Chain A
Amino acid sequence: MSNHTVTRASRASTIAMLIMVPLLILLISAPFWAGRAELRLMGEICLYLSLASLWNLLAGYAGLVSVGQQAFVGFGGYLLFALTMFADWHPLAAALGAGVLGLLIAMPVAVLMFRLTGAYFAIGTWVVAEVFRLSFAQISALGGGSGTSLAVSVVKRLSEDRSMRESLAYWLALGLAVAVLVVITLLLRSRTGLALTAIRDNDVAASSLGVDVWRTKFVVYIVTAGLTALTGALIFLQKLRISPDAAFSVNDWTAFVIFIVVIGGIGTVEGPVIGTLVFFLLRETMADLGTIYLIVLGVVAIIIMLTAPQGLWGLIRSRFGLSMLPVIHRVKTITVREPENGP
């Protein structure tokens, strides 16, 4: 006699969980075995992973294709500078504050932008990013159009010791990436996640089943914005210098992120992870090529979108049925041995 149970776990996800523990320990201990340049690169990878996962949540799950997430990256970066320099906050408090304020400012932005749908929403978010860029460029206390550097006294509040500061910056980036992945996985497993999947597949049907489409999208948008602003604060805590063009760069904070997600696999939790690794692998080998590198990325992303819209992870998953960070339910058949004198 066979019985069925519903489970999220698969053998792959169990193995993945088992591998993840030592991997995480290895990553946490990186400051003790990696050189300065490697540590910096790994920190950057973590921050991009966080940006990519957040954009994927927005575009791949909530159907909110934004090309204006640089608005929140730059906002977070600038708020870090403003709160530490003018309000004399500790850099970590300032980074968290930037995240919270990013979430708050995303509320009116969402109310306005949600009046636009689909592709027009995308360009609308770009306008918002431009408004942010031009507004921050007007603030002369933050260096106006040419930008400003983080004061040494502020940086030293993190730690007096330089290598300790660099380790701390890396741990923050790693911690953020892990936190973002955990938040997204939990969110997708919750009722909101189910509602999101329903909206993505068919928003009219979802709303007829009682899903509050507007509200669900709103929550995802502002949470993503807040976490993106926090990521932005950490990015510029690592860079120590900010300018409107760098902070609100559409190439750095949106184009690269979109390519990462598309190449890795949009609408999957694992996609951005694969995509980030591929992106940095390509960048480290091709960065000398400059503009050609960007053209190659664009071509690869277009080819993937046209021929394998599920991305690299989609290809792997359809071939092996793998799921590392499971968010879906699967039916599993278990065979129960029938007792001799059954009831």
Chain B
Amino acid sequence: MDWVNAVVQGVLLGGLYALFAAGLSLIFGVMRLVNIAHGDMVVLAAYLGLSVVATLGIPPLMALVIVVPLMALLGYLLQRLVLNRTIGRDILPPLLVTFGLSVIVQNGLLMVYSADPQKLGAGWLEVASLQFAGLAIGVLPLLTFVFAVAVIVLLQWVFYGTSLGRAFRAVSDDGDVAQLMGLDRRHVFGLAMALSLAVTAVAGVLLGIRTSFDPTGGAARLIFGFEAVIIGGLGNLWGTLVGGVILGVAQTIGAQIDAGWQILAGHIAFLLVLAIRPAGFFPRVDQ
């Protein structure tokens, strides 16, 4: 029963990892940019949630109403003012600039919020659980998973059902031609980053309710999101959910064997997938 429980918890944990991964996958799909500061953005969103909760005295989930647009705005400005200047054939500038951003955000958070671990208190939501077939399923992990599925459905709809999605796909396929067709590439990239950080905001707040966080936690979140993307297959949004679930299950099973093995087991699962199926389980087929 312990093992079944570990798998169920792992699947639900995978929802959170899918949320880390979706934002990463989205911007890579649109502009071939890998944001090394992505994990730090997750942590930044958690801290913004903390500030909103502290000033307005509202429950953390309601803080999303403020944190999501705030992060989206930040994403748009970041892309327009900084990252657009790095987009090009050379992969070095975007990598190094986002790496610098990561260090800046991390140390900025250290200065403002100190190194003390923080948590978003959500009262009953943190402890509530449902009894199902002898398993105790936490309401919060379940809610996180539902959020993940909802976010992916939403992103799929944006990508394949709206004119914004058409613009995303156009600049992704051929930026120069898209530009000639009247799309402002810089603006489209800005919107993509805004959407990515909006998803990140959801991930950050849910993370903050789930566990305590501190300014140095960004690297781990980037790595989990990245592993989910690679396991699931590049460029496939549903793949990120599958990748997240596989990573989550590997971690909870690892933890079931030995508490010190939790994170290591996830990394090993990732390396195994890389060795056996380097393209991931569901790579985008049109490439």
- Measured CB to CB, the residues of A under 8 A from B are 59, 63, 65, 67, 112, 115-116, 118-120, 122-124, 126-127, 130-131, 134-135, 137-138, 250-251, 255, 258-259, 262, 266, 291-292, 294-295, 297-299, 301-302, 305-306, 309
Complex formed: what's the CA distance from A127 to B97 in Å? 20
A297 — which chain B residues lie within 8 A by C-beta? Answer: 103
Q: Known contacts A120-B230, A123-B34; is A251 also within 8 Å of B103 by CB? A: yes
Complex interface: chain A residues within 8 A of B33 (CB): 119
Minimum C-beta distance from A121 to chain B (A): 9
List the 9 shortest-distance A-B pairs measured between CB atoms, nearest first: A119-B34, A115-B278, A298-B104, A298-B100, A291-B107, A298-B103, A302-B100, A118-B91, A134-B264
Q: Could you say which of A134, A135, A138, A251 has the most chain B C-beta atoms within 10 Å of its C-beta?
A: A134
CB <8 Å contact, B104 and A255: no
| Residues on B facing A (Cβ under 8 Å) | 28, 33-34, 36, 82, 85-86, 91-97, 99-101, 103-104, 107-108, 110-111, 219, 222-223, 226-227, 230, 234, 260, 263-264, 267-268, 270-271, 274-275, 278
Tell me which of A65, A123, A135 contacts B223 (CB under 8 A): A123
The CA-CA distance from A137 to B36 in the complex, in Å, is 25
Find A298's partner among B107, B260, B267, B268 (CB 8 Å cutoff): B107
Q: Which of B34, B85, B104 contacts A295 (CB 8 A)?
A: B104
Number of A-B contacts (CB under 8 A): 116
Does the CB pair A115–B274 fall under 8 Å? yes
Cβ contacts under 8 Å, A123 to chain B: 34, 36, 222-223, 226
Q: A115-B274, A137-B260, A250-B219 are in contact. Are A291 and B226 (CB under 8 A)?
A: no
A262, B92: Cα distance in complex, Å: 10
A67 to B219, CA, bound (A): 11
Chain A residues within 8 Å of B34, by CB? 118-120, 122-123
Q: In the bound complex, do residue B103 and residue A131 qualify as a contact, i.e. CB atoms below 8 Å apart?
A: no
A-B contacts, 10 listed (Cβ < 8 Å): A65-B92, A112-B274, A119-B91, A120-B230, A123-B222, A130-B267, A251-B103, A292-B111, A301-B96, A302-B100
Chain A minimum-CB-distance residue to B234: A120
Residue pair A122, B100 in contact (C-beta under 8 Å): no
Q: Which residues of A contact B263 (CB under 8 A)?
A: 130, 134
Q: Is the CB of A306 within 8 A of B82?
A: yes
Q: How distant is B99 from chain A, measured CB to nearest CB, in Å?
A: 6
The residue on A at minimum CB distance from B106 is A294
Bound Cα distance from A63 to B95, whole angstroms: 12
Chain A nearest CB from B83 CB (Å) reads: 10
- A255 with B111, Cβ < 8 A, contacts A118-B34, A118-B91, A122-B34 known: no
Asked if B103 and A119 make an inter-chain contact with CB atoms under 8 angstroms apart, the answer reads no
Interface of A is mostly: helix
Kindly provide the distance from the CB of A105 to the nearest chain B CB, expressed in whole angstroms.
14
**Which residues of the other chain, A, contact B274 by a CB distance below 8 angstroms?**
112, 115-116, 124
Q: Which residue in B85, B86, B93, B267 is a CB contact (below 8 Å) of A127?
A: B267
Q: How far is the CA of A301 from the CA of B101 in the complex (A)?
A: 10
Contacts of A115 in B (CB 8 A): 274, 278
Bound CA–CA A67/B223 (angstroms): 12
Say yes or no: A138-B260 contact (C-beta < 8 A), given A118-B91, A123-B36, A298-B103: yes
Say whether A305 contacts B268, CB under 8 Å.
no
Chain A residues near B86 (CB-CB < 8 A): 305-306
Q: Which residues of B contact A138 (CB under 8 A)?
A: 260, 264
Known A-B contacts A120-B226, A131-B268; the reply to A255 vs B103 at CB < 8 A is yes
Q: CA separation between A294 and B102, bound complex, in Å?
A: 11
List residues of chain B with CB within 8 A of the CB of A65.
91-92, 95-96
The docked-state distance in angstroms from the alpha carbon of A126 to that of B36 is: 11
Closest to B112 in A: A291
Contact B223 A130 (CB under 8 A): yes
Shortest C-beta distance, B36 to chain A (Å), equals 7
**Cβ contact of A299, chosen from B28, B36, B104, B222, cutoff 8 A:** B104
Measured between C-beta atoms, what is the minimum distance from A25 to chain B in Å? 37
> Once the chains are docked, how many angstroms separate the CA of A298 from the CA of B99?
8
Would you call A131 and B36 a contact (CB within 8 A)? no
Instruction: Tell whether A127 pairs with B270 under 8 Å between CB atoms, given A119-B34, A302-B82, A306-B93.
Output: yes
Report Cα–Cα, A124/B91, bound state, in Å: 15
Asked if B230 contacts A302 (CB within 8 A), the reply is no
